[in-house]
Amino acid sequence: MKRLISSVLAGFGFFQVAGLFSQDMPLTQVLIKGEDWEAVSEGHGFTDGLCTNAYGDLYFSDVKDGTAIYRIDKDGKRSDFVKDIAGVSGLQWGVDGRLYVCVARGRRIVSFSKNGDDMRVLAEEIRPNDLVVTHDGNLYFTMTPTSEIRRIDPDGKMTVVDSGTINRPNGITLSPDHGTLAVSDHGGKHVWAFQIAKDGTLKHPGNYMTMRTPEADPEVAKGDGMATDVHGRYYVTTAEGLQMFDPTGRMSGVIAKPQDANLVSVCFAGPNHEFLYVACGDKVFRRKTKTRGALFFQKPHPAEKFVEPKKQAAEALFEDDPTSIAKAGFEVLKAE
């Protein structure tokens, strides 16, 4: 509490002199004119499970027809990273250099070494869909059919950390500082935010982001795979397209699907991790952006300040403005 008061007060002191933190994050800050989706892998059944490593290689699965965990390297070449594995719905690299895998069909979570061998089983008899691994080695995963979020701690102990808050918890990601866990609802219209407590439990769920829904089904956005960029923006695949939210939970735009198919997974990969990759039906697509992905196997960091290349006229608007609490907060954090 003491910390809160001091940071808010510090904020007040600063906000007269502070420059404007770009509080509005339109799609133009991310998309590049002339850059469109390009298919990078074709001929699959149902692509899913996109993730990346430090080099920007892309890993993904084909949850319907796949027989391997696939890798697309920097040169765009596809190979089988792990052979003879089927029904994979979620992938993430951990800080320990191992690849963590939700095997939906096998009802278990396993991991592989950086060479794709040395398989270890972390949990069995479960219904995992998607996962995220924090820098301190906690693995959180969604159990969509049972409305649960579970955690496997660094010692391998599995616990239920949320049950019943979200109708069909599906996509799962972190804020760049790993303080907030965000989980999308496949059977509702919200992305929920949880505070990750010091002991790794989840606290204070909030229906922080409201997704755009189809006219025909206004309560169900089909929120699926999620990703985060270094500026703290959240990305979630939905029936309506790839929806983008700013760090304060405000919907900032919908990026069109590459084709009329199920859009279920998203991650930043490729050179500098500045390409958005999506799994959409039988193909994997990518497009270049102006931003970069947050990588959770790297050290947590505060959301980076976005600097518009061209100075906007709006620069000094919040000077001496009592509504600029949000901005004051950003200034405080920058100072830390």
Element spanning 112, H or E? strand 108-112
Is-contact 77 325, C-beta < 8 A? no
State the nearest-atom distance from the C-beta of 333 to other proteins, in Å. Answer: 5
State the nearest-atom distance from the C-beta of 322 to other proteins, in Å. Answer: 2
From the list 33, 204, 310, 311, which residue makes contact with other proteins (rule: CB under 8 A)?
A: 204
Of 227, 288, 237, residue with least CA distance to 262:
237
- Show the binding pattern over residues 66-105: x = contacts other proteins (CB under 8 A), - = does not: ----------------------------------------
State the first-to-last Cα distance of the chain, in angstroms, to the nearest integer.
17
Nearer to other proteins, 4 or 216 (CB): 4
From the list 197, 256, 307, 335, which residue makes contact with other proteins (rule: CB under 8 A)?
A: 197
- Show the binding pattern over residues 6-45: x = contacts other proteins (CB under 8 A), - = does not: -xxx--x-----------xxxx------------------
112-298-192-265 Cα dihedral, nearest 10 degrees: -50
Candidate segments 142-150, 254-262, 264-272, 311-319, binder of other proteins by CB under 8 A: 311-319
CA distance 114 to 111: 10
What Cα–Cα distance (Å) separates residue 70 from each residue in 61, 74, 80?
A: 6, 13, 5
CA distance 10 to 265: 40
State the nearest-atom distance from the C-beta of 81 to other proteins, in Å. Answer: 32
Both tokens assigned to 163: 């049950």
CA distance 92 to 324: 37
State the nearest-atom distance from the C-beta of 301 to other proteins, in Å. Answer: 8
State the nearest-atom distance from the C-beta of 7 to other proteins, in Å. Answer: 8
Is-contact 274 298, C-beta < 8 A? no
State the nearest-atom distance from the C-beta of 196 to other proteins, in Å. Answer: 6
Of 237, 228, 244, 224, residue with least CA distance to 293:
228
Give the residue ranges of DSSP H helices in the chain. 2-14, 325-335
- 321 is a site residue for other proteins (CB under 8 A): yes
- 241 is a site residue for other proteins (CB under 8 A): no
Nearer to other proteins, 121 or 197 (CB): 197
From the list 67, 163, 248, 259, which residue makes contact with other proteins (rule: CB under 8 A)?
A: 248
State the nearest-atom distance from the C-beta of 176 to other proteins, in Å. Answer: 9
* DSSP track, 176-218: TTSSEEEEEETTSSEEEEEEE-TTS-EEEEEEEEE----TT-T
From the list 64, 206, 241, 288, which residue makes contact with other proteins (rule: CB under 8 A)?
A: 206
- Show the binding pattern over residues 125-164: x = contacts other proteins (CB under 8 A), - = does not: ----------------------------------------
From the list 88, 123, 172, 196, which residue makes contact with other proteins (rule: CB under 8 A)?
A: 196
State the nearest-atom distance from the C-beta of 200 to other proteins, in Å. Answer: 10
Residue 139 CA from chain centroid, whole number = 14
Is-contact 182 142, C-beta < 8 A? no
State the nearest-atom distance from the C-beta of 320 to other proteins, in Å. Answer: 6
In the 8-state DSSP scheme, what is residue 47? E
User: Which residues bind to other proteins, rule: CB under 8 A?
Assistant: 1, 3-5, 7-9, 12, 24-27, 175, 177-180, 193, 195-198, 203-206, 208, 210, 247-253, 300, 302-303, 314, 317-326, 329, 333, 336
